[in-house]
């Protein structure tokens, strides 16, 4: 449990990136 591999960080960045893209596309689509 103490070890936090880089995979967890990469997964977090990927999730944030996906959310950002989805939000951007949604905003552009709504406009």
Kindly give the confidence (pLDDT) of every residue in the chain, 31 residues in length, as a single tens digit, with 9 standing for 90 and above.
Answer: 567 777 888 999 999 999 999 999 999 999 8
Quote the pLDDT of residue 1: 55
Quote the pLDDT of residue 8: 87
Tokens representing residue 10 in the block? 């990469």
Quote the pLDDT of residue 16: 97
Q: What is the rounded distance in angstroms from the CA atom of residue 7 to the CA atom of residue 24?
A: 25
- ∠ CA 8-18-7 to the nearest 5 degrees? 15
pTM attached to this predicted model: 0.61
- As a whole number of Å, the end-to-end CA separation of the chain is 45
**C-alpha separations of 18 from 5, 12, 15 in Å:** 21, 10, 5
Tokens representing residue 22 in the block? 């989805």
Quote the pLDDT of residue 3: 73
Quote the pLDDT of residue 14: 96
């Amino acid at each position: 449990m103490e070890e936090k591999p880089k995979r967890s960080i990469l997964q977090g960045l990927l999730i944030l990136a996906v959310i950002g893209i989805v939000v951007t596309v949604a905003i552009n689509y709504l406009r």
